[in-house]
């Protein structure tokens, strides 16, 4: 996933097999790629219970970018997220970033190159409005 992000490629994770089991995997060709397994679900009240490799799969990402995306990186070990983009001055809407509570249960710190931001924790969203004095903008999120 880091290679896909480093190359700024679009992607979709598609493998969800609801009848996945630890014994038989995805029930086809001995594959076991599902990101969810009922066998691993321990708490029905926890949306993440039963999830597999969630540290890598659940990650921050730009939902919409007010310009051209130049760099994107998330390190699941340090939980540091970096985004760099060139703002399109014709766009007044903010850049919107999904910031999952999964990785930041106790909040996070933000460093921006300029402009202003708003955290909408209940929506797991960071909104960023770049300043007009620069065209290149950087955002870093850390636990």
What's the CA angle centered on 35, arms 30 and 41, to 5 degrees? 100
How confident is the model at residue 75, as a pLDDT?
Answer: 94
- Say which residue, 1 or 27, is predicted with more confidence: 27
pLDDT in tens, 53-106: 899 889 999 999 999 999 999 999 999 999 999 999 999 999 999 999 999 999
How confident is the model at residue 53, as a pLDDT?
Answer: 86
Which band of pLDDT confidence, cut at 50, 70 and 90, is reported for residue 46? very high
Residue 55: phi and psi, rounded to 5, are: -60, -30
Average pLDDT, the chain: 91
How confident is the model at residue 95, as a pLDDT?
Answer: 98
How confident is the model at residue 13, as a pLDDT?
Answer: 67
The average pLDDT across 1-28 equals 81
Say if residue 16's pLDDT is above 80: no
Domains of the chain by range and CATH? 10-57 (no CATH), 59-142 (2.60.40.1180)
How confident is the model at residue 78, as a pLDDT?
Answer: 96
SS3 98: strand
Which band of pLDDT confidence, cut at 50, 70 and 90, is reported for residue 117? very high
| DSSP classification of residue 52 | S
How confident is the model at residue 14, as a pLDDT?
Answer: 64
65-75 CB burial, b ≥16 within 10 A, e <16: bbbeeeebebe
């Amino acid at each position: 996933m880091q290679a896909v992000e480093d190359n700024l490629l679009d992607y979709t994770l598609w493998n969800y097999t609801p009848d996945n089991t630890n014994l038989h995997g995805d029930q086809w060709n001995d594959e076991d790629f599902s990101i969810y397994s009922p066998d691993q679900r321990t708490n029905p009240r926890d949306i993440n219970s039963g999830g597999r490799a969630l540290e890598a799969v659940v990650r921050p990402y730009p939902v919409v970018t007010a310009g051209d995306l130049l760099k994107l990186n998330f390190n699941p070990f340090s939980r540091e997220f970096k985004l760099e983009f060139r703002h399109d001055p014709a766009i007044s809407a903010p850049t919107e970033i999904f910031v999952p509570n999964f990785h930041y249960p106790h909040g996070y710190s933000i460093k921006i190159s300029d402009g202003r931001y708003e955290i909408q924790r209940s929506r797991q969203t960071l909104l960023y409005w770049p300043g007009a004095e620069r065209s290149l903008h950087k955002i870093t999120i850390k636990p």
